[in-house]
Amino acid sequence: MSAVKPRILTVNQIGYPASGPKSFRYAEAGGAFEVIHASTGEVAFAGETAPARQDEAAGTPVSLGDFSGLSEPGTYRIRINGEASSPFVIANNPYADLHTGLLKAFYFFRCGCELKEEFAGPWAHQACHLAEGIVYGEPDRRRDSAGGWHDAGDYGKYTGPGAKAVADLLLAYELYPQAFRRTVPLPESDGRTPDVLHECRYELEWLLKMQDERTGGAFHKLTTKQFPALDVMPEDDLAELYFLPVSAAATGCFAAVMAMAARIYRLFDGAFADLCLDAAKRAWRWLLDHPEVPGFKNPADIGTGEYGDAQDLDERYWAAAELFRTTGDEAFHEAFRRLALQQFPKFELGWADMGAYGSLAYLLDGPENTDPTLYARLKEELLTEADKLLAICSGDGYGISLTPADYIWGSNMVVMNRAMLLLMAFRFGGKTEYEHAALDHVHYLLGRNALDYSYVTGYGDRPVMHPHHRPSVGDRVAEPVPGLVIGGPNRGLNDDCMMEHLQGEAPARCFIDDELSYAGNEVTIYWNSPAVFVVSHFVL
């Protein structure tokens, strides 16, 4: 458990783009400040903070110090009232290494293969979870289950969350290809196919195994019956694996991400693209044949993550959008238009509410290829939602779009998902305030927050050191696996560790850097994936 007292003077501990807005936060009344060269103490910029405002989420007054006028590349600190901040850089491309690290994290999540020292460094480990899985309720039916990414701090693999993570990465590549020119490297790196597509393919090939060959539906998840102990390395987790029953939510996500993959991989591997599209169409037929399906619930003897989702309209909507965008088939367009009339969130990006992926797929298809009335309506709804987020940002001491109630389990996913949405609004609406607000969310993730933590392992002056992540606990390496986005403050205090140590804390301070805090300090692929998307926008 971390006992380090947070500084009240907080910055983005990685740094700031030279040409963009720059500011720090000071958790009490401010005043005159200086930006000094970290190596010499020489003053590079001087200014005055804005008056302090009470921040409800943090429970403290917060002053903002703006130093946008400083654009000279270098390494700096802020100095105010005798205190000095973490060092940070000002640079033309400050997030390139961070971006590679966030993407490399998916390699560390790989299941079913040896992570060799050449690529994994001290976090290498043997191949894991190679046994065939049992189809739950059919004990004599076993299927290949190897591959894919471990979902989180545990070793389960889940269709819907996996599809969200792949979708974020494929969208990032599609919209910001310049961010992926660097080699990670990965075992598959070949100088031809971008590494992000190699990494996504590793998950996609496993997702293909989650399609029931008998029906075309997608199994909801593949897990052991219970979680292993926290210090168990993946290769030592030898309990039997189970394919849990097909669900509509999983099948909709599967159809959508496979249609998306078919489009993006077409330029690199036509045979793989065909395989993905055929799988997407089979899954879509299952959805048509099963218009009303109960939401997934764990069987009584299963204690792993449920990812229950009673609403499947959003997943069907996403699937129709991606299949239409990939094929141009009017039957998918008509299905999308019908689903668009239904009431469900159409601009949420979470694993349970996937509607925004459908809306964005439709908008990205362009007004010339879509129903102009529906296109205009969805664009207006996107910009309206983004304006609501801007309004929240303007009232928040740290400039992000979380209300006090939004500090929930996985609040950093909410932060990055909303930054994604702001960047999409910037793409379609062009208002620079959307882009600047998204960058403020990056600043928050990397240390400019109420606790002075970089919420990405291995990056920043004061990163999280004790994530709830079994390989990081069990590998006997002092440093955790790098590049992992952790869940963040959670006002619900949903684990015993948080309940013991965080009673009475303000929402933005409900976090403890302790491996036992699974409700605040766990990691997952779908917290990393929106971070990759958002940071991609700011990588040259």
* Three-class DSSP labels, 244-277: EEECHHHHHHHHHHHHHHHHHHCCCCHHHHHHHH
- Token digits of residue 113: 């293969």
Domain positions in the chain: 96-307
Confidence of residue 2 (pLDDT cuts 50, 70, 90): very low
Q: How many other β-carbons are positioned within 10 Å of the β-carbon of residue 122?
A: 11
Residue type, 509: R
**Is pLDDT above 70 for 482?**
yes
Among 72, 75, 85, 96, smallest CA distance to 33 is for: 85
Q: How many other β-carbons are positioned within 10 Å of the β-carbon of residue 412?
A: 28
Lookup result for tokens 């043997």: 126
- Alpha-carbon gap, residue 283 to 285, rounded angstroms: 5
Q: Which residues have a Cβ under 8 Å from the Cβ of 526 and sit 6 or more positions away? A: 161, 164, 165, 168, 351, 413
Check: CB of residue 128 under 8 Å from CB of residue 235. yes
pLDDT of 7 reads: 77
Average the pLDDT over 368-391 and give the result: 98
| Helix or strand (DSSP H, E) at 77 | strand 74-80
Q: Kindly name the residue from 322, 348, 513, 514 that is annotated as catalytic.
A: 513
Maximum C-alpha span of the chain = 73
pLDDT of 3 reads: 44
- Which tens digits make up the pLDDT trace of 172-189? 999 999 999 999 999 999
**Three-state secondary-structure class, residue 323:** helix
Active site residue 468: yes
DSSP string covering 156-209: -EEHHHHHHHHHHHHHHHHH-GGGG-S----TT--SSS-HHHHHHHHHHHHHHH
Confidence of residue 336 (pLDDT cuts 50, 70, 90): very high
**Three-state secondary-structure class, residue 463:** strand
- Which tens digits make up the pLDDT trace of 260-279? 999 999 999 999 999 999 99
**Is pLDDT above 60 for 1?**
no
The second-level CATH assignment, the architecture, of 96-307 is Alpha/alpha barrel (1.50)
Average the pLDDT over 7-34 and give the result: 96
Average the pLDDT over 76-97 and give the result: 97
Q: What is the pTM of this model?
A: 0.98
pLDDT of 441 reads: 98
Among 198, 230, 232, smallest CA distance to 107 is for: 198
- Which tens digits make up the pLDDT trace of 214-231? 999 999 999 999 999 999
The torsion angles phi and psi of 144, rounded to 5 degrees, stand at -60, 130
Q: b/e for 132-160, b at 16 or more Cβ within 10 A?
A: ebbbbeeeeeebebbbbbbbbbbbbbbbb
pLDDT of 5 reads: 62
Average the pLDDT over 53-69 and give the result: 97
- Alpha-carbon gap, residue 182 to 191, rounded angstroms: 10
Residue 276 CB burial class (10 angstroms; 0-12, 13-18, ≥19): buried
**Three-state secondary-structure class, residue 221:** strand
Q: Which residues have a Cβ under 8 Å from the Cβ of 89 and sit 6 or more positions away? A: 14, 15, 16, 73, 74, 75, 76
- Alpha-carbon gap, residue 337 to 321, rounded angstroms: 9
Determine what percent of the chain is predicted with pLDDT higher than 70.
Answer: 99
**Three-state secondary-structure class, residue 66:** strand
Q: Kindly name the residue from 55, 151, 365, 522 that is annotated as catalytic.
A: 522
* CA distances from residue 307 to 5, 158, 312, 422 in whole angstroms, order as listed: 35, 8, 13, 26
Lookup result for tokens 């379609």: 428
Number of H-type helices and E-type strands within the chain? 16, 15
Active site residue 174: no
- Token digits of residue 6: 């947070």
Active site residue 522: yes
Check: CB of residue 446 under 8 Å from CB of residue 14. yes
Q: Which residues have a Cβ under 8 Å from the Cβ of 428 and sit 6 or more positions away? A: 363, 379, 382, 383
The size of the chain, in residues, is: 540
Q: Cα-Cα-Cα-Cα dihedral of 3, 525, 527, 432, to 10°?
A: 130
- Which tens digits make up the pLDDT trace of 395-447? 999 999 999 999 999 999 999 999 999 999 999 999 999 999 999 999 999 99
Determine what percent of the chain is predicted with pLDDT higher than 90.
Answer: 99
Check: CB of residue 397 under 8 Å from CB of residue 58. yes
Q: Kindly name the residue from 468, 475, 495, 537 that is annotated as catalytic.
A: 468
- Token digits of residue 327: 């094929």
- Alpha-carbon gap, residue 97 to 122, rounded angstroms: 19
Among 250, 228, 237, 169, smallest CA distance to 202 is for: 169
